[in-house]
Amino acid sequence: RDFLPRGSGIVTRRPLVLQLIFSKTEYAEFLHCKSKKFTDFDEVRQEIEAETDRVTGTNKGISPVPINLRVYSPHVLNLTLIDLPGITKVPVGDQPPDIEYQIKDMILQFISRENTLILAVTPANMDLANSDALKLAKEVDPQGLRTIGVITKLDLMDEGTDARDILENKLLPLRRGYIGVVNRSQKDIEGKKDIRAALGAERKFFLSHPAYRHIADRMGTPHLQKSLNQQLTNHIRESLPALRSKLQSQLLSLEKEVEEYKNFRPDDPTRKTKALLQMVQQFGVDFEKRIEGSGDQVDTLELSGGARINRIFHERFPFELVKMEFDEKDLRREISYAIKNIHGVRTGLFTPDMAFEAIVKKQIVKLKEPSLKCVDLVVSELATVIKKCAEKLSSYPRLREETERIVTTYIREREGRTKDQILLLIDIEQSYINTNHEDFIGFANAQQRSTQLNKKRAIPNQGEILVIRRGWLTINNISLMKGGSKEYWFVLTAESLSWYKDEEEKEKKYMLPLDNLKIRDVEKGFMSNKHVFAIFNTEQRNVYKDLRQIELACDSQEDVDSWKASFLRAGVYPEKDQAENEDGAQENTFSMDPQLERQVETIRNLVDSYVAIINKSIRDLMPKTIMHLMINNTKAFIHHELLAYLYSSADQSSLMEESADQAQRRDEMLRMYHALKEALNIIGDISTSTVSTPVPPPVDDTWLQSASSHSPTPQRRPVSSIHPPGRPPAVRGPTPGPPLIPVPIGATASFSAPPIPSRPGPQSVFANNDPFLAPPQIPSRPVRIPPGIPPGVPSRRPPAAPSRPTIIRPAEPSLLD
């Protein structure tokens, strides 16, 4: 078939990926217009010209974006070849100044991959030693394993000269040798000479020429076709072990998922019922695992589910309780007013019980806000857990939506009941002040205890040497002159805060006692992404060297809150609005009466003791109440009632309606599974039915290196020297698998060659979902579009490129053009 554009100058201005596929009928298809089948090959030529002009314009511009063409015919062997622009030295028209380098880079893109076969095409009437095609092939294939020399225009050599020594691989040898072809002349093409007749003329030429008669069976386009097809077969055979292993591993990975789809019937009500029951049951199991913890699928990147709720119970909630602790100055003022108001017009001689009860009740009421906030935090975490568990229901969007709605609504309902119960607990504590509690200090001890000691009773340490926390922190406020900010390994105990060089805890940098220490918040720096808090001494002493406070930095606010909660356990509290040493002076504004001061101090100590008892009780009851009324009830609801609610909310058919994505995924998985099985069967057949040929031994090709060291100058050659700078044809194949084998285009289509035993290349297995690919019977590779090279970028280095063999041709018109 004659369908490639011909003319003077550079005609091929975009790569043409031509895939020849053995088929009973003959037609052509373009990738950019899949729906149309071309049976008239004159239309194919016109479409190639139109598509070239669409991207490159009409003034000789070039583009690396390929045109993909598939030709189905009973007269071809399965090969793929890439026809590339000729190597141009001087730009014309709209071509950029670096046109030579751009075209070379484009060629190298295709021929650099190891699974391509390179046809180095050189005209017989030019010097072979100056062939650009062979020079480029040598750059990417120094061992000569992938390069086949093709000599054209043997019928145009000067009288008295021939290419016998070259075709016998004696002069300028290549490892895979040379194959001679005789194509139609420009006059034959213009005269519409039939290609079958041209093939007959080629055969007659080799049989009748005295220099080539003895090697005629190894010359000509049909022999080139067979040689390339055999190389493809060899490559497939070599690739089989690794390919078989890869396919088997893919098949095993799909086996489990495909098992449930093998007998899948989307409209089967039995299947829908079973799937609904299984998914609801799995949802309940996943929810329980996320709350109670589980050894499978552990998240190692962040806390989630039950771990975050535990953190709320034992870090966030105690911290909120301490944050709302009463202000010292306001508390003493309130006690003073309460005592005076209870005595009324009289001057009291004794400390009144009523003042103690009034102040304690007021402090108990303040517990409501942090307690309700704790419930809100737990509800937020439960909502997150529900969304995570519902992700497995994404195949059925309506089921997922209804499940989330029903469970979230139930959690909101339980939230109201839980808050009511917690408020009831606080009201119960407020209703009766038990001064006979075993931990209550009583009036006698209240007069002897200091405020600070009583505070430390609120969260008692478990032991003098208890290690409360270890971890990395950055000391943020060390000046650059002294080394700047640095990260240390901190160890917090009930008595001190120590930091070391690293977690081995061998080289201690400092130990800071916790006495008189407090915590304050520090704003994050403008250029810093760390979160900071500070530790300072309430007696205005330096904390570390000449620093009044040390600023400690963490990566996240969660880490800051966690460290603050750990400091609370050690008895280090957040800073108050006024420093404690100012309290005494300001209290004089309330009263200067010494007797009243003693009464205020006594009640102050009593309030501290009793509030510590209440805090301890609330901290214990809060997690229990939330677990019982909210979390455990939600688990029971999911296990026992969720299914009934789902049935009542919608009919089973609408609930179990698959998403389009899931249906597509299932179909693709089944197609892939069957394709893998078919591929393994094909490989089994190929391994026993194909014949491979050994790789030719190495030859002395140093002539290529010496030839490339001097500038190419045309020479008249003796009898055997014949060849011009040409363009190597090459074939290319997709990854991974056999190379696509190049073939001179004009002669291929019309040659009726018997198929060589061979099977489709491995890549074709994975391309079954491509409607553009018909199942080949002889080795075939699907086309992959190589990445384009942006025009105007000069580069001499071969870029990494997709694998396909390439045809490199001379720029002037030849039969390949």
- Helix, strand, or coil (residue 509): strand
Which domains are seen in the chain, by residue range?
16-243 (3.40.50.300), 465-574 (2.30.29.30)
Helix (H) or strand (E) holding 242: helix 221-259
Nearest CA to 250 among 599, 712, 786, 679?
A: 679
Nearest CA to 212 among 171, 166, 159?
A: 166
- Tell me what pLDDT residue 480 has: 63
- Tell me what pLDDT residue 689 has: 60
Under the phi-then-psi rule, with left for phi > 0, alpha for psi from -120 to 50, and beta for the rest, what region is 183?
Answer: beta
Please tell me what DSSP assigns to residue 408: H
Q: What are phi and psi of 736, to 5 degrees?
A: -90, 145
Q: Which residues of the chain have pLDDT under 50?
A: 450-464, 577-592, 708-741, 743-806, 808-817
Nearest CA to 645 among 276, 315, 371?
A: 276
* Angle of helix 594-626 versus helix 368-390 axis, rounded to 10: 20
Q: How many CA atoms lie within 13 A of 359 on its CB side?
A: 31
Q: Which amino acid is at 71?
A: V
Burial of 529 (0-12, 13-18, 19+ CB in 10 A): exposed
- Tell me what pLDDT residue 179 has: 92
Q: How many other C-beta atoms can be found within 10 angstroms of the C-beta atom of residue 657? A: 14
Strand pairing partners for 470?
491
Residue with tokens 């214990």: 620
- Tell me what pLDDT residue 724 has: 38
For the stretch 396-418, what's the b/e string if a residue is b when 16 or more beta carbons lie within 10 angstroms of its beta carbon?
Answer: bbbbbebbbebbbebbeebbeeb
In angstroms, rounded to a whole number, what is the distance separating the alpha carbons of residues 101 and 116?
21
Q: How many other C-beta atoms can be found within 10 angstroms of the C-beta atom of residue 22? A: 20
For the stretch 629-652, what's the b/e string if a residue is b when 16 or more beta carbons lie within 10 angstroms of its beta carbon?
Answer: bbbebbeebbbeebeebbeeeeee
In angstroms, rounded to a whole number, what is the distance separating the alpha carbons of residues 813 and 6?
7
